[in-house]
Amino acid sequence: MRDIHLPGRSTVHGTGGAAATSQPLATLAAIDMLRAGGNALDAAISACAVQCVTEPNGTGIGGDCFAMYWINSERRLVAINGSGHAPAALTSEWLLAQGLRAIAGDSVHSVTIPGAVDAWCRLNADHGRLSMAEVLEPAIRYADSGFALGSCIATEWAAATQKLVRNPNTARQYLRDGQAPSAGDLWRHPQLAETLRAIATNGRDAFYRGPVAHDMVTSLRSLGGVHTLEDFAVERSTYVTPIACSYRGVELIQMPPNSQGAVMLLIMNILAGFDLTKFPPQSAERFHLLAEATRLAFEVKEAIGDPAFSDVSVEPFLTDAFAKSMQQRIRPDRAGSIPAAAAAGGRDTVYVAVVDADRNVCSFINSLYMQFGSGLTSETSGVLFHNRGIGFKVAPGHPASVAPRKRPPHTILPGLAMRAGRPWLAFGVKGAAYQPIGQAQILTNLIDYGMDLQAAIDDARCAYNEGHVDVERGISDAVRRGLTALGHRVVETALPLGGAQCVAIDWERGTLSAASDSRKDGLALCY
**Lateral strand order in the sheet of 348-355:** 238-240, 76-82, 64-71, 361-369, 348-355, 18-21, 523-526
Query: Smallest Cα–Cα separation from 86: which of 257, 232, 213?
Result: 232
Task: Tell me whether residue 457 is in a domain.
Answer: yes
Stretch 296-311: mean pLDDT: 78
- Give the model confidence (pLDDT) of 475-485 as tens digits: 999 999 999 99
Stretch 36-53: mean pLDDT: 98
Q: pLDDT at position 424, please?
A: 98
Stretch 298-310: mean pLDDT: 76
- Give the model confidence (pLDDT) of 247-268 as tens digits: 999 999 999 999 999 999 999 9
Task: Tell me whether residue 436 is in a domain.
Answer: yes
Of the residues 11, 349, 380, 444, only one is catalytic, namely 349
Report the CATH number at residue 464. Answer: 1.10.246.130
- Give the model confidence (pLDDT) of 66-104 as tens digits: 999 999 999 999 999 999 999 999 999 999 999 999 999
Q: pLDDT at position 309, please?
A: 79
Give ∠ CA 511-514-515 in degrees, rounded to 5: 155
Stretch 122-137: mean pLDDT: 98
Stretch 493-506: mean pLDDT: 95
Neighbouring CB atoms inside 10 A of 186's CB total 10
String of DSSP letters for 209-270: SHHHHHHHHHHHHTTT----HHHHHT---EEE--EEEEETTEEEEEPPTTSSHHHHHHHHHH
pLDDT band at 3 (very low <50, low <70, confident <90, very high): confident
Q: How far apart are CA 351 and CA 66, in angstroms?
A: 10
Please tell me which residue, 149 or 339, carries the higher pLDDT value. 149
Task: Tell me whether residue 451 is in a domain.
Answer: yes
Task: Tell me whether residue 100 is in a domain.
Answer: no
String of DSSP letters for 344-357: -S--EEEEEEEE-T
Helix (H) or strand (E) holding 138: helix 132-145
Q: pLDDT at position 185, please?
A: 97
Q: pLDDT at position 399, please?
A: 85
Task: Tell me whether residue 218 is in a domain.
Answer: no
- For residue 310, pLDDT beyond 90: no
Query: Smallest Cα–Cα separation from 295: which of 426, 437, 399?
Result: 437
DSSP 411: -
What residue type is 87 in one-letter code? P
Stretch 424-428: mean pLDDT: 98
- For residue 111, pLDDT beyond 60: yes
| % of the chain at pLDDT higher than 70 | 98
The total number of structural domains that make up the chain: 1
Task: Tell me whether residue 12 is in a domain.
Answer: no
pLDDT band at 469 (very low <50, low <70, confident <90, very high): very high
Q: How far apart are CA 326 and CA 340, in angstroms?
A: 14
Mean pLDDT score of the chain, rounded to an integer?
95
pLDDT band at 347 (very low <50, low <70, confident <90, very high): low
Stretch 419-433: mean pLDDT: 95
Could you give the residue ranges of the DSSP H alpha helices within 55-131? 92-97, 116-127
Q: pLDDT at position 156, please?
A: 93
pLDDT band at 345 (very low <50, low <70, confident <90, very high): low
Task: Tell me whether residue 169 is in a domain.
Answer: no
Q: How far apart are CA 470 and CA 486, in angstroms?
A: 15
pLDDT band at 371 (very low <50, low <70, confident <90, very high): very high
Q: How far apart are CA 244 and CA 289, in angstroms?
A: 21
Strand, coil or helix: 202: helix
Neighbouring CB atoms inside 10 A of 243's CB total 21
Question: 275 lies in which domain range?
Answer: 240-346+413-511
Query: Smallest Cα–Cα separation from 204: which of 82, 87, 109?
Result: 82
Q: pLDDT at position 346, please?
A: 52
Cis peptide before 258 (omega within 30 of 0): yes
pTM more than 0.85: yes
Please tell me which residue, 466 or 16, carries the higher pLDDT value. 16
349 is annotated as an active-site residue = yes
Task: Tell me whether residue 496 is in a domain.
Answer: yes
pLDDT band at 207 (very low <50, low <70, confident <90, very high): very high
Q: pLDDT at position 510, please?
A: 97
